[in-house]
């Protein structure tokens, strides 16, 4: 099967992005896979440390392997926002394709040192795994928020990005460019959208010349997505939008059948709601 690096190289050449969507149950997993297969597009599935604790590290890897084995389909698994080397090693041993070692909350030099240690540990298990590093604070929760978290909004500079990449030799970089984890209530219930600093994205891309990831994509202006991808973002993460769709779908399923107790008869609307979000984002990210 085509490797994740090959898929990202092709996306970068075509100036499109690979969609990355988190899941923590079969509703999300099945919806993401179905949306990607419908559009015949590669896709990345991610699990945070909390999501991995809920699903199981090896169990999540087994789900992805089952789809690969049955359909020979390019889906890839990412250990999203990993904060310890032990958890990074567990994901590497389970067969994840990418691991994000997130030291963004650490002082800059300590982030570099810890990311280097993580890369050494991961690559010693499997050199083919892509390792992503993160600099710049964009919050830490894929949730609906009352206000922008303290510290969010300070952009990563091109000089910082180049220093970090040169010192760590990461395969992928996640910078702060106006993005933010989670969504404000005004984004969920109104027309407020996140706006990205496209010029800064282009500056960082020119400085580092490696794959770049846009985290915290939920609630972002569609045109900013397009411009960010053309300026150098090769992976785009969406999670909060999926969680909202899941919740609304579950509520709809319960309302439609208030006396039903079979989960698979209740959860159909949740699968369709998540699939609809994934489909729309995949279509946007792959447009040329």
- Which residues are catalytically annotated? 80
The pair of structure tokens assigned to 123 is: 């690559």
The pair of structure tokens assigned to 207 is: 């400085």
Q: Is 286 helix (H, G, I), strand (E, B) or coil?
A: coil
The pair of structure tokens assigned to 141 is: 């929760």
Q: Which 3-state string (H, E, C) describes 156-220?
A: CCHHHHHHHHHHHCCCEEECCCCCCCCEEHHHHHCCCCECCCHHHHHHHHHHHCCEEEECCCCCE
**In angstroms, rounded to a whole number, what is the distance separating the alpha carbons of residues 148 and 150?**
7
- Residues in the chain, overall count: 288
The pair of structure tokens assigned to 146 is: 């009352």
């Amino acid at each position: 099967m085509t490797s994740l690096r090959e898929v990202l190289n092709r996306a970068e050449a075509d100036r499109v992005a690979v969609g990355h969507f988190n899941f923590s149950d079969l509703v999300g997993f099945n919806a993401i896979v179905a949306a990607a297969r419908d559009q015949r597009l590669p896709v990345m599935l991610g699990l945070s440390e909390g999501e991995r604790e809920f699903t199981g590290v090896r169990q999540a890897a087994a789900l992805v392997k089952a789809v690969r084995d049955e359909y020979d389909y390019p889906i890839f698994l990412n250990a999203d926002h990993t904060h310890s080397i032990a958890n990074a090693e567990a994901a590497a041993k389970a067969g994840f394709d990418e691991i994000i070692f997130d030291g963004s909350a650490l002082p800059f030099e300590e982030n570099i040192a810890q990311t280097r240690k993580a890369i050494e540990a991961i690559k010693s298990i499997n050199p083919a795994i892509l390792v992503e590093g993160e600099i710049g604070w964009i919050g830490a929760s894929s949730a609906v928020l009352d206000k922008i978290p303290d510290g969010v909004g300070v952009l990563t500079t091109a000089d910082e990005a180049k220093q970090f990449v040169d010192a760590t030799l990461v395969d992928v970089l996640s910078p702060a460019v106006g993005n933010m984890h989670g969504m404000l209530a005004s984004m969920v219930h109104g027309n407020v959208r996140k706006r990205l600093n496209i010029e800064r994205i282009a500056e960082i891309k020119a400085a580092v010349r490696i794959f770049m990831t846009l985290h915290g994509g939920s609630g972002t202006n569609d045109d900013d997505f397009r411009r960010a991808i053309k300026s150098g973002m090769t992976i785009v993460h969406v999670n909060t939008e999926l969680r909202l769709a899941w919740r609304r779908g579950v509520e709809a399923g319960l309302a439609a059948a208030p006396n039903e107790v079979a989960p698979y008869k209740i959860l159909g609307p949740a699968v369709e709601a998540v699939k609809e979000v994934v489909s729309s984002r995949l279509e946007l990210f792959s447009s040329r």
